[in-house]
Amino acid sequence: MALLRLRKKQHLVFLLCVWCLVVDWSKAETEESEGSPMEKTEKDALYSTIQGFVGDSWNGSNLYPDPCGWTPIQGVTCDMYNDLWYVTALSFGTFRENSLACAEIPVIRPQLFELKHLKSLSFYNCFTSPNRYLASIADEKWLNLSKNLETLEIRSNPGLIGELPSFITNLTNLQSLVVLENRLTGSLPENLAKLTRLRRLVLAGNRFTGRIPEVYGLVGLLILDLSRNFLSGSLPLSIGGLNSLLKLDLGNNYLEGKLPRELQSLKNLTLLDLRNNKFSGGLIKEIQEMSSLVELVLSNNHLGEDLTGIEWRNMKNLVVLDLSNTRLKGEIPWSILELKKLRFLGLSNNNLRGKLIREMETEMPCLNALYVNENNISGELEFSKKFYERMGRRLGVWGNPNLCYHGDEIKNLRDHVPFGVKQCERVKDVTLA
Ligand SMILES: *[C@@H]1O[C@H](CO)[C@@H](O)[C@H](O)[C@H]1NC(C)=O
Ligand SMILES: *[C@@H]1O[C@H](CO)[C@@H](O)[C@H](O)[C@H]1NC(C)=O
Ligand SMILES: *[C@@H]1O[C@H](CO)[C@@H](O)[C@H](O)[C@H]1NC(C)=O
Ligand SMILES: *[C@@H]1O[C@H](CO)[C@@H](O)[C@H](O)[C@H]1NC(C)=O
Ligand SMILES: *[C@@H]1O[C@H](CO)[C@@H](O)[C@H](O)[C@H]1NC(C)=O
């Protein structure tokens, strides 16, 4: 009897559950057919914006009736504000395989500027046909985005020419401005420092000319990359005020003058890359104050002077030190052995003389690339067989006419004979006679 009652109870529970499921399911269906709540103006603005970029044949309302809900569009991100969905991020161009490819001649439609919660906008490989201008849109329209826009990324658009549009400096909430590998020209805006919230500023790989503007006030900046342009003049002293900076890459420009002493304030800097410029005036002592540096790349500059002015032991974090072709003179100092984490030491194409310190083998345990080729290093290479094995082809010693190696150590290891260096001659009995 008790058992039967239990059965009945179970049956009832079961029925209730089925009913719940049915109700739940039908509720979900109505929600689905209504779509995620979204203003019609927002939805239409989104469709029209995308159509401008992708081409007229793209019919959003057909393909993606519920763009923030059940039929999301690649490259579109939405978020909810007051129970309504809004577009917060838009990304165009072939970034991933299934992202929205741009039409041959993409058009920035005015509807873009009606997306009032847009935080992130990016164009990747989008403006590819020649002679496209970003500045074809009136600046006032961009101001509509300035309240919310935090990220603007314009990347790998080989057709994009003209100057950096002036509206950029009015987008005062930007945290990330990436204008990378396009064909933009002209000088950088003087008032770049108005963008005080910037954490990342990348303008690399364009054709910008002129000086680097003052950067006072960008105290939150973590990454500054202006490499691969035609920038000239000296570094602004205000660069020392970028206290938070982690990476500074100004390589491949026409920058000149002495490295500013103000660099010493960049206590958190891990990368300083100034390669391929025209800096002069030697390695300033203040460099040693940047004790967080992991990579210091100054190759191909006109620095001059020698390596003795620096307390290398203050730079214990260095992993990469590249001073190739920087007109260095003098000897390689013993203090360089303090760089215990160093893996790459590039000193090639200088006027260094003296011996190559044998203790590099033991005192710099991580070292696995050493280039001192094209100098005037002399004497005998006294490394062990093990060291030659460890370095392999990453030992560059050629182009030092007065250098030789000891054959006894490595005579059975033809592969590891240091390239371009002759074997030392045996001590001549004749001289003893
Ligand atoms: C998209 O398709 C719908 C119905 O198929 C049509 O009414 C609408 O005009 C089309 N929109 C565009 C922009 O072509
Ligand atoms: C700016 O935004 C407002 C409301 O978000 C909109 O009504 C207006 O048309 C926009 N202006 C431009 C130039 O797009
Ligand atoms: C935009 O920036 C320019 C130059 O800094 C400034 O003159 C102008 O007033 C700004 N416009 C607005 C609406 O903030
Ligand atoms: C430098 O880094 C340390 C540790 O990450 C951090 O606490 C400090 O705030 C940073 N300094 C600046 C000026 O950002
Ligand atoms: C290279 O060094 C040797 C001494 O080891 C010196 O006699 C010679 O003049 C130097 N050559 C150059 C080009 O500086």
CA 15 – CA 32 distance, rounded (Å): 26
Tell me how far the alpha carbon of residue 305 lies from the centroid of ligand 1, in angstroms: 71
Site of tokens 């805006």: 189
CB-ligand 5 contact for 412 (6 Å cutoff): no
Do the Cβ atoms of 323 and 347 come closer than 8 Å? Answer: yes
> Which bound ligand lies closest to the C-alpha atom of 351?
5
Res 26 pLDDT > 60: no
Q: Which of 50, 61, 63, 107 to mutate to test ligand 1, by most ligand atoms within 8 A of the CB atom? A: 61
Can you list the domains of the chain with their CATH numbers? 312-433 (3.80.10.10)
Ligand 1 atom closest to Cα of residue 59 = 1
CB-ligand 4 contact for 291 (6 Å cutoff): no
pLDDT digits (tens, 9 = 90+) for 165-177: 888 999 999 999 9
Residue 347 structure tokens: 């000193």
Percent of the chain whose predicted confidence (pLDDT) is above 90? 72
Tell me how far the alpha carbon of residue 429 lies from the centroid of ligand 5, in angstroms: 26
CB-ligand 5 contact for 376 (6 Å cutoff): yes
Res 429 pLDDT > 60: no
Which of 120-124, 135-139, 298-302 shows the lowest mean pLDDT across its residues? Answer: 135-139
CA 11 – CA 412 distance, rounded (Å): 87
pLDDT digits (tens, 9 = 90+) for 190-227: 999 999 999 999 999 999 999 999 999 899 999 999 99
Res 33 pLDDT > 60: no
Model confidence band, residue 4 (pLDDT cutoffs 50, 70, 90):
very low
Other C-beta atoms lying within 10 Å of the C-beta of residue 386: 11
CA 314 – CA 316 distance, rounded (Å): 6
Strands of 75-222, DSSP E? 76-81, 84-92, 120-124, 132-133, 151-157, 160-161, 176-182, 200-202, 209-210
Give the residue-averaged pLDDT of 56-65: 91
Tell me how far the alpha carbon of residue 170 lies from the centroid of ligand 3, in angstroms: 6
**Burial (CB count within 10 angstroms: exposed 0-12, middle 13-18, buried 19+), residue 238:** middle
Tell me how far the alpha carbon of residue 84 lies from the centroid of ligand 4, in angstroms: 39
Which pLDDT belongs to residue 130?
Answer: 78
DSSP state of 163: B
Ligand 4 atom closest to Cα of residue 243 = 13
CA 38 – CA 108 distance, rounded (Å): 23
What residue's CA is closest to ligand 5, atom 9?
Answer: 376
What residue's CA is closest to ligand 5, atom 13?
Answer: 376
Percent of the chain whose predicted confidence (pLDDT) is above 70? 86
SS3 423: strand
Q: Are strands 76-81 and 84-92 parallel, antiparallel or unpaired?
A: antiparallel
CA 50 – CA 47 distance, rounded (Å): 5
